[in-house]
Amino acid sequence: MPFVDASRGFILYLCWEQANLCGNEVSLIRLDDEQAVVRLRPICLALYEKTAHLKQQISLEDYRGLFEYRWLDRSANGGWKLDISYDGDDCVFQFTKPRR
Do residues 36 and 80 lie in contact, with contact meaning Cβ atoms separated by under 8 Å? yes
Query: What total number of domains does the chain contain?
Result: 1
Torsion of CA 38, 76, 61, 12, to 10 degrees: 20
| Type of residue at 67 | F
In the chain (100 residues long), the average pLDDT of successive 10-residue segments reads 84 97 97 96 92 89 96 96 95 92
pLDDT for residue 55:
87
pLDDT for residue 77:
95
Q: Is the pTM of this model over 0.85?
A: yes
1 in any annotated domain? no
pLDDT for residue 53:
87
pLDDT for residue 92:
98
84 in any annotated domain? yes
Name the residue range of residue 12's domain.
6-96
24 in any annotated domain? yes
